Structure 1
Amino acid sequence: MTQPAPTPNSVPPQAPACAHGRPLRLRTMLAPLLTVLCALGSPAHAASPAGTYPERPVTIVVPFAAGGASDVLGRQLGKQLELALGQSFVVDNRAGAGGTVGAASAARATPDGYTLVIGTNASHAIAATIHRKLRYDPLKDFVPVTLVAHVPQVLMVHPSVPVSNVQELIAFARKHPGKLNFSSAGNGTPGHLGMELFKMMAQVDMVHVPFQGGNPALLALTGGQVEVLADNVNSALPMIKAGKVKAIAVTSAKRSGALPDLPTIAEQGVAGFDSGSWFALFAPAGTPAPVVARLNAETIKALNNPTVRSTLAAQGAEPEAGTPEALTQLIHSDIAKWGAVVKKIGLTAD
Structure 2
Amino acid sequence: MTQLSSRILGVLLHALLVLRRWGQGVLLCLAAVSGAHAQTAAKGDWPQRPIRMVVPFTAGGGSDIVARVLARPLSQELGQPVFIDNRPGAATVIGTQYVVRSVPDGHTLLLSGSTSFSINPALRKKLPYDPARDLAPIAIVARSSLALVGGKDTPWHSLPELIAAAKAHPGRIRYGTFGPGSGPHLAGEMLAAAAGIRLQAVPYRNTGQLAVALSAGEVDLGIEVAGALAPLVNAGRLHALAVFGAGRSGTLPGVRTLAEQGLPDATFEAWFGLAAPARTPAPVLDALSRAVTRAMDDAAVQANLRAQGMDPVTVGPEAFRKEAESEISRYRVQADRAGISLD
What TM-score, normalized by structure 1, do the two folds share? 0.83
> Which of these residues, 23, 29, 50, is aligned with residue 19 of structure 2?
29
Q: Give the structure 2 partner of residue 50 of structure 1.
A: 42
List per-residue Cα deviations over 1:212-243 (Å, max 9, x = no partner): 44433332222223222222223312321221
User: Is 1:333 matched up with 2:326?
Assistant: yes
Shift of 1:85: 2.0
Matched residue pairs, number? 328
List per-residue Cα deviations over 1:305-348 (Å, max 9, x = no partner): 11111222232222221121211122112212322333344444
Any conservation in 2 of the 1:186–1:213 contact (CA below 8 Å)?
A: no
Any conservation in 2 of the 1:131–1:348 contact (CA below 8 Å)?
A: yes
Any conservation in 2 of the 1:253–1:273 contact (CA below 8 Å)?
A: no
User: Is 1:286 matched up with 2:279?
Assistant: yes
Any conservation in 2 of the 1:253–1:272 contact (CA below 8 Å)?
A: no
List per-residue Cα deviations over 1:83-131 (Å, max 9, x = no partner): 1122232333222211111111211223232222113221222222333
Q: 1 CA distance for matches of 2:235 and 2:176?
A: 20
Instruction: Pick closer, same or farther for the CA change 1:179–1:64 going to 2, 3 Å.
Output: closer
> Which of these residues, 339, 343, 347, is aligned with residue 336 of structure 2?
343
Q: 2 CA distance for matches of 1:97 and 1:333?
A: 23
For 2:135, give the aligned amino acid: F
For 2:209, give the aligned amino acid: P
Identical positions, percent: 33
Any conservation in 1 of the 2:75–2:82 contact (CA below 8 Å)?
A: yes
Shift of 1:29: 3.2
For 1:107, give the aligned amino acid: V
Matches within 5 A, 1:170-319: 170-319=163-312
Root-mean-square deviation over aligned CA pairs:
2.6
For 1:50, give the aligned amino acid: A
Shift of 1:42: 4.6
Any conservation in 2 of the 1:150–1:319 contact (CA below 8 Å)?
A: yes
Q: Secondary structure of the residue that 2:48 maps to in structure 1?
A: coil
Q: 2 CA distance for matches of 1:320 and 1:34?
A: 52
User: Is 1:120 matched up with 2:120?
Assistant: no
Structure 1 unmatched ranges of 5 or more: 1-22
For 2:106, give the aligned amino acid: G
Shift of 1:197: 0.3
User: Is 1:94 matched up with 2:84?
Assistant: no
Which segment is superposed worse, 26-35 or 251-260? 26-35
List per-residue Cα deviations over 1:229-267 (Å, max 9, x = no partner): 222223312321221221122111111121222221112
Any conservation in 2 of the 1:249–1:262 contact (CA below 8 Å)?
A: yes
Q: Secondary structure of the residue that 1:52 maps to in structure 2?
A: coil
The structure carrying a bigger helix percent of its residues is 2
Any conservation in 2 of the 1:77–1:302 contact (CA below 8 Å)?
A: yes
Q: Give the structure 2 partner of residue 131 of structure 1.
A: 124
Instruction: Pick closer, same or farther for the CA change 1:194–1:39 going to 2, 3 Å.
Output: same
Q: 1 CA distance for matches of 2:132 and 2:31?
A: 35
Instruction: Pick closer, same or farther for the CA change 1:46–1:207 going to 2, 3 Å.
Output: closer
Shift of 1:24: 6.8
Q: Give the structure 2 partner of residue 6 of structure 1.
A: none
Instruction: Pick closer, same or farther for the CA change 1:205–1:283 going to 2, 3 Å.
Output: same
User: Is 1:105 matched up with 2:98?
Assistant: yes
Q: 1 CA distance for matches of 2:329 and 2:115?
A: 13
Structure 2 unmatched ranges of 5 or more: 1-12
Q: Give the structure 1 partner of residue 7 of structure 2.
A: none
Q: 2 CA distance for matches of 1:46 and 1:336?
A: 39
Instruction: Pick closer, same or farther for the CA change 1:217–1:67 going to 2, 3 Å.
Output: closer
Q: 1 CA distance for matches of 2:342 and 2:101?
A: 22
Q: 1 CA distance for matches of 2:177 and 2:37?
A: 51
Matches within 5 A, 1:142-157: 142-157=135-150
For 2:334, give the aligned amino acid: V
What TM-score, normalized by structure 2, do the two folds share? 0.85
Any conservation in 2 of the 1:184–1:214 contact (CA below 8 Å)?
A: no
Q: 2 CA distance for matches of 1:53 and 1:260?
A: 46
Any conservation in 1 of the 2:143–2:310 contact (CA below 8 Å)?
A: yes
Any conservation in 2 of the 1:167–1:269 contact (CA below 8 Å)?
A: no
Q: 2 CA distance for matches of 1:286 and 1:134?
A: 20
